[in-house]
Amino acid sequence: MYLKSIEIAGFKSFARKSVLDFNTPISAVVGPNGSGKSNAAEAFRFVLGEQSIKSLRGKRAEDLIFNGGKDAARANRASVKLVFNNVQRVLNIDFDEVSLERVVHRDSSSEYFINGSLVRLKDIIELLAGAHIGASGHHIISQGEADKVLNANTRERREMIEDALGLKIYQYKKEESIRKLDKTEENIKQVESLRREIAPHIRFLKKQVEKIEKAVEMKTDLTKMYHEYFCREESYLNNERKSVTSEKEPLLKKREELEKELAEAKETLAKSNTRDHKSEKVMEVEGKLKETRITKDSLMRNVGRIEGEISSLIRLLKKQKDANSAMTNKTVLLSQVENITKEIDLEIDGAFETSDISKVKEIFRNIKKLLKDFIEKNKESENKQAEEEIENDIKGLESEKSGYELKIKDAEKLETELEEQYVFLKSEIEKERDSNRDAEKALFRIVAEQNDIRGHLSNLESRESILRKNEEDLKRELQEGSILVGIQALRYKDFWPTSESGVAVSLEEIINEPRQVQEDRRRALEKIKIRLEDAGVAGGDEIMKEFKETSERDVFLAKELEDLFKSSESLKILIKELDEKLTNEFRLGVTKINIQFQEFFTAMFGGGSAKLSLVKEKKRKRSDTDLTIPGEGEAHDLTEEEEEQEEGLDIEVNLPKKKIKGLMMLSGGERALTSIALLFAISQVNPPPFIILDETDAALDEANSRKYGDMIANLSKYSQLILITHNRETMSRAGVIYGVTMGSDGISRLLSIQFEEAVQVAK
Ligand code: ATP
């Protein structure tokens, strides 16, 4: 038993909450006309998600809500809740009991609940499709719709059968896949359009990026060239500066020296007028010298005269003395001789006692003197006086001579001094004469040297001015370089030029390189600078960034496109597979149904034949949605576009003993029987959990009612049956009978009743 109960509240005539429990295989609902039995059957349709208000016998959603009775106010909402026993997991949800509930409000909004949780209509439909309770309602036959399956066109019939065969789930999957495919294809178009849109931009950016890359390459080249150029230039200029300075320094020093020399020479020449003064002085000294010499000569003459006088006096004195010495035979007393001998002996003794020769010599002198004095004492001189006078004269003359000699000495000293002065002055004058000559010579030499130096210095100054210009140029070029290629241009000091063979070039080579080669380098630099400026790729980083982002986006889009194509392909495959499955299962199902149909048909009519046959149909559009509930997008789910060629289902019947071949030719009862036979056949092949038959038996006579009853009893083995009936036979098959009554208030009420009571009520 799958269906447990239905709870109806506010739905149509069921103003108050009414519950029907279905705990037997067959439940019957009986009641007088207009009491609300069909409303109960519609409550099933409603809760199962019926979207067609027309098939619920209404025009607007409001018509489904209790509209008020004599003493009863109208309801604001209608709700129906169906409770399933799901122990066997007939419904694909992991609960032993499942309740489905639908609520409709006066503003036409609908709400669906599964076990009290708000869900979408789609969820309800999918859940039910899995249990063969499809929206086509093949298991709910409303009043007057017993021959619905016969009246339906081939396509509708096919749908009913698909639903009954449980193929709807594949249909939904297929529809969903088609929708997904449509969406995917739409996305593909969008992505392709996006890619088309960005393609020109990417092309533009690519060109820019190529330019930037070229510029970067040029910058790299330029940086290398700058390094070589700067390195060589700086080395050259430093050397030039050093060489100019070292050449200039001695020249400046020399110039200074020459200036000093010049000043000196000039000064020397200026001094030449002092020479006259010196000549006068020489003459003066000459005069003095002459005078001194005259004085000296006169003094010397005096000395000569005195010396003559002295020598004549000496001669006179000698004569006097000679006269005196003629008295040598004079006799002396012995005692006197003895005395003198004693004195001499004493002296001689002294001489014997000493070994010092000088003392001995002294002693001899003393002896000599003793003897002389003895002799002198014993002489008797009458000319002694004259002798003394001569001696005195000589003495007088000698002292006069010494006086003159002193004066001569002074005169000689003065003469010497004057001579020296004379010589000095003479040499000074001579010297001055020489230095003037030198100064004049020097003057010529200095001027010549100065001219020479001036020439050299002027050369050096012009070299210096070129150097300064070159230094300024280098400074400017360094600035330009750093602006053009960045700070790395200034890192040339880390670099040293190498020859073509990769050997480091010597400083000597750099210095001695012809300037033209460096000039050529500078020109090459200028050329590449111009090309770089022409490339005009300002904001390179941003363009690179944009190119990267845009390319990444394009790659992303391409990847997305690839994914979309893949999913489109897999969706197409899935759709194809579903199509095949649907076709195969449908055909298989139809074959199975046909066997049952034939059996039920034969049982009903006691013979004859009936079968469903597949027919090809042209494409047709269907929209069976006339219940448009705001906010319910799912309404769209039931609209579909049929394929160009589609298989529909036709019914072929052959009544026994009658030559009737078309459905149109059947009587009302025959139609009902055929329809029931088909419905039962369908249900037998793939039994739904429950079947509701609303007065399907209305047109049957008693004999057929029995057959109908038998079939119901048989069918109830597979599906739970809820039968709305006035038929006594049908009622007799039910395990529980519910009576529906409607009082004067227009409200339907439910009650469980006995068979007899039911028969009574039914009447
Ligand atoms: P029969 O045996 O003749 O087929 P029935 O028992 O099936 O009758 P229903 O057709 O279920 O009767 O009930 C129809 C009754 O429900 C009508 O009397 C109608 O007034 C009432 N009804 C329908 N819609 C509403 C509504 N929205 N509000 C109140 N009553 C309604």
Question: pLDDT for 325-382, tens place per residue?
Answer: 665 556 677 888 888 899 899 888 888 888 888 888 888 898 998 888 887 777 655 5
> For residues 633 and 720, which has the higher predicted lDDT (pLDDT)?
720
Please state the atom number of ligand 1 nearest to the C-alpha of residue 13.
30
Atom 11 of ligand 1, residue of closest alpha carbon: 36
Once rounded to an integer, what is the mean pLDDT over residues 555-584? 92
Mutate to test the pocket of ligand 1, among 20, 38, 725 (most ligand atoms within 8 A of CB): 38
Percent of the chain having pLDDT more than 90? 32
Domains, the chain, in order of start with CATH, read: 2-139+688-762 (3.40.50.300), 275-431 (1.10.287)
Q: Read off the tokens for 431.
A: 């010297």
Lowest mean pLDDT, pick from 65-69, 140-144, 353-357: 140-144
Q: Does position 120 have pLDDT exceeding 70, yes or no?
A: yes
> What are the CB-based long-range contacts (under 8 Å, 24+) for 422-431?
422/282, 422/285, 422/286, 422/289, 425/278, 425/281, 425/282, 425/285, 426/282, 428/278, 429/275, 429/278, 429/279, 429/282
Ligand 1 centre to CA of 366 (Å) is 210
Q: What is the per-residue pLDDT for 137?
A: 65
Q: Is the pLDDT of residue 662 over 70?
A: yes
Encoded tokens for 120: 């979408």
The winner for highest mean pLDDT among 148-162, 461-475, 648-662 is 461-475
pTM of the model: 0.53
- 26 token code pair: 């067959």
What are 190-229's pLDDT values in tens digits? 999 999 999 999 999 888 888 888 888 888 888 999 999 9
Q: Indicate if the pLDDT at residue 642 is higher than 70.
A: no
| Ligand 1 atom 13, closest CA | 36
**Ligand 1 mutation pick, 8, 11, 13, 46, max ligand atoms within 8 A of CB:** 13
Rounded Cα gap, residues 181 and 516, in angstroms: 75
Q: Whose CA is nearest to atom 21 of ligand 1?
A: 13
Q: Are 32 and 741 in contact (CB under 8 A)?
A: yes
| Mean pLDDT of the 55-77 span | 86
User: Measured in angstroms, how far is the CA atom of residue 227 from the centroid of ligand 1?
Assistant: 103
Q: At what angle do helices 540-605 and 154-164 cross, to 10 degrees?
A: 90
What single-letter DSSP state applies at residue 637?
Answer: G
Mean pLDDT of 659-669: 77
The predicted model gives 669-698 an average pLDDT of: 85
Q: What would the two tokens of residue 461 be?
A: 């100054």
User: By alpha-carbon position, which residue is closest to atom 24 of ligand 1?
Assistant: 12
- Which amino acid, residue 583? T
**Is the CB of residue 11 less than 8 Å from the CB of residue 78?**
yes
Average pLDDT on 258-286 reads 81
Tally helices (H) and strands (E) across the chain: 16, 16
pLDDT, residue 621, reads 46
- Whether pLDDT at 761 is above 60: yes
Measure 14 CA to ligand 1 centroid, in angstroms. Answer: 9
Report CA Rg, the chain: 82
Distance between Cα 720 and ligand 1 center (Å): 25
Indicate if the pLDDT at residue 185 is higher than 90. Answer: yes
Using CB distances shorter than 6 Å, the residues near ligand 1 are: 12-13, 31, 33-39, 63, 66-67, 143, 746
Question: What's the confidence (pLDDT) of residue 327?
Answer: 58
> Are residues 141 and 719 in contact, defined by beta-carbon separation less than 8 angstroms?
no
Band of the pLDDT at 464, cuts 50, 70, 90? very high
Q: Which of 164, 85, 102 shows the shortest CA–CA distance to 629?
A: 102
First-residue to last-residue Cα distance in the chain: 30
What pLDDT shows up at residue 328? 56
Distance of alpha carbon 678 from alpha carbon 661, whole angstroms: 16
The yes-or-no verdict on residue 657 having pLDDT over 50 is: yes
Q: What pLDDT does residue 168 have?
A: 78
**Which ligand 1 atom is nearest residue 748's CA?**
16
Q: Could you report the per-residue pLDDT of 68-119, keeping only the tens digit for each?
A: 888 788 899 999 999 999 998 888 899 999 999 999 999 988 999 999 999 9
pLDDT band at 238 (very low <50, low <70, confident <90, very high): very high
Average of per-residue pLDDT values in the chain: 85
* More confidently predicted of 748 and 623: 748
Which of 8, 14, 30, 35, when mutated, tests ligand 1's pocket best, judged by the most ligand atoms within 8 Å of its CB? 35
Q: Considering only residues 763 and 290, tell me which one the structure prediction assigns the higher pLDDT.
A: 290
Give me ligand 1 centre to Cα 632, in Å: 28
CA 231, 233, 234, 238 torsion: positive or negative? positive
34 phi-psi bin (left φ>0, alpha ψ -120 to 50, beta other): left
- Out of 68-82, 267-281, 659-673, give the one with best mean pLDDT: 68-82
Taking CA atoms, 720 is separated from 22, 67, 461, in Å, by 8, 32, 124
pLDDT at 639: 41
Region of 499 please: left (phi>0), alpha (psi -120 to 50) or beta.
beta
**pLDDT(271) > 90:** no
Residue nearest ligand 1's atom 3 by CA: 33
Span 25-40, average pLDDT: 90
Residue 524 has pLDDT above 50, yes or no: yes
Tell how far the Cα of 694 is from the centroid of ligand 1, in angstroms. Answer: 13
Q: Is 633's pLDDT higher than 50?
A: no
pLDDT, position 402: 92
Query: Which two structure tokens, joined as six digits, stand for 518?
Result: 């460096």
Average pLDDT over residues 121-136: 79
Residue 363 vs residues 194, 351, 358, 374, 521: alpha-carbon distances, Å: 161, 7, 9, 16, 119
pLDDT of res. 637: 38
pLDDT at 149: 79
Say what the pLDDT of residue 640 is: 45
Which protein residue's CA is at the shortest distance from atom 26 of ligand 1?
12
pLDDT at 14 over 90: yes
Position 513 pLDDT exceeds 50: yes
**134, pLDDT greater than 70:** no
pLDDT value at position 702? 86
Q: What is the largest CA-CA distance in the chain?
A: 251
What pLDDT is attached to residue 439? 83
> Which residue is listed with tokens 């000088």?
358
Determine the Cα–Cα distance for residues 455 and 457; give it in Å rounded to an integer: 5
Label residues 530-562 b or e (16+ Cβ within 10 Å = b): eebeebebeebeebbebbeebeeebeebeebbe
